[in-house]
Amino acid sequence: MLRVRNLKCYYGKIRAINGVSLSVRPGELIALIGANGAGKSTLLQAVCGLISQWEGEIELEKHSLRGLKAPTIVERGLSLVPEGRLLFPPMSVLDNLRLGAYLRYRRREQRALIAEDLERVMALFPVLQERAVQPAGTLSGGEQQMLAIGRALMARPRLLLLDEPSMGLAPFLVRLILDTLVQLKQEGMTILLIEQRARRTADCRPRVCPGEWADCPGRGRGRPAGRSGRETRLPGQGLSRIL
């Protein structure tokens, strides 16, 4: 579904990623683990059309994403839960969710489906239903993360990308988020999850990422992945994948 080949990303003269390859097959839940500064967010942003300077290949369902703007990429079935959630704090929970479907409101035939998706997200995270009219900025950290995931789902993606959704959350909330991802996978969604902590992520039994990171600036060893997974140090650098 997603294929990244020898991706190199630049911020001006700074090279943030130097040669990353990975592929995600339909229906897979993939977890990639990397240290601070390894280039995880840059990778996801490049895939979403948010990085202007990159080399290599990024293909979604065998079509190149080169030159496409983020809204077009979202319309092609990809949706990002960004690092730090990036909600609209003064707006209500409901309006944040509706914004996730922003591009779909243009098409009249989508309206009924949007209403369906809203119900589905509320069922997935009942607390969002309870807090529907509350400003998003007044939610707890865990609730905000659920809202960020819910907003991404409102785009009705076929491939969901998540950038460190467990950041700053208590273990039971991490569990809840990962359980939700497993449920989404069982319903047929393809998921690429980026995390720093292998141990937590391993509990949702992600499959091998048949890809490789190379020569990234990040450093540092990851910790063991825990009982249901095993962590591998990838060649030469500070990024790891879970088996």
Q: Which residues partner with 122 through β-bridges? A: none
- Candidates 30-38, 59-67, 107-115, 128-136 — which segment interacts with ligand ATP by CB under 6 A? 30-38
**Helices and strands in the chain: count of H runs, count of E runs:** 8, 11
* 5, 8, 19, 37: which one binds ligand ATP (CB under 6 A): 37
Q: Give the number of other Cβ atoms within 10 Å of residue 40's Cβ.
A: 25
Which residue type does 224 have? P
Burial classification of residue 241, based on how many CB atoms lie within 10 Å of its CB (0-12 exposed, 13-18 middle, 19 or more buried): buried
CB of 242 to ligand ATP, least distance (A): 16
* 18, 20, 40, 180: which one binds ligand ATP (CB under 6 A): 40
- Candidates 40-48, 104-112, 142-150, 218-226 — which segment interacts with Mg ion by CB under 5 A? 40-48
- Candidates 34-42, 58-66, 91-99, 133-141 — which segment interacts with ligand ATP by CB under 6 A? 34-42
Binding mask 65-84 for ligand ATP (x = CB under 6 A): ------------------x-
Which residue type does 108 have? R
Rounded Cα gap, residues 167 and 148, in angstroms: 13
- Given ligand ATP, Mg ion, none, residue 34, with its beta carbon under 5 to 8 Å by kind, binds ligand ATP
Rounded Cα gap, residues 214 and 237, in angstroms: 7
What does each C-alpha distance from 177 to 85, 88, 173, 208, 232 come to in angstroms? 14, 21, 6, 20, 24
Rounded Cα gap, residues 143 and 53, in angstroms: 34
What lies within 8 Å, CB to CB, of 130 at 6+ separation is none
* 18, 41, 144, 201: which one binds Mg ion (CB under 5 A): 41
* 59, 75, 83, 203: which one binds Mg ion (CB under 5 A): 83
* 22, 34, 114, 144: which one binds ligand ATP (CB under 6 A): 34
Rounded Cα gap, residues 125 and 183, in angstroms: 12
CB of 194 to Mg ion, least distance (A): 7
CB of 161 to ligand ATP, least distance (A): 12
7 belongs to the binding site for ligand ATP (CB under 6 A): no
Sign of CA dihedral 68, 17, 44, 236: positive
Q: If binding means CB under 5 A, how many residues of this protein chain bind Mg ion?
A: 3
CB of 17 to ligand ATP, least distance (A): 7
Q: Which is nearer to Mg ion, 59 or 83 (CB)?
A: 83
By the criterion CB under 6 A, which residues form the site for ligand ATP? Answer: 11, 14, 16, 34, 36-42, 83, 196, 217-218
By the criterion CB under 5 A, which residues form the site for Mg ion? Answer: 40-41, 83
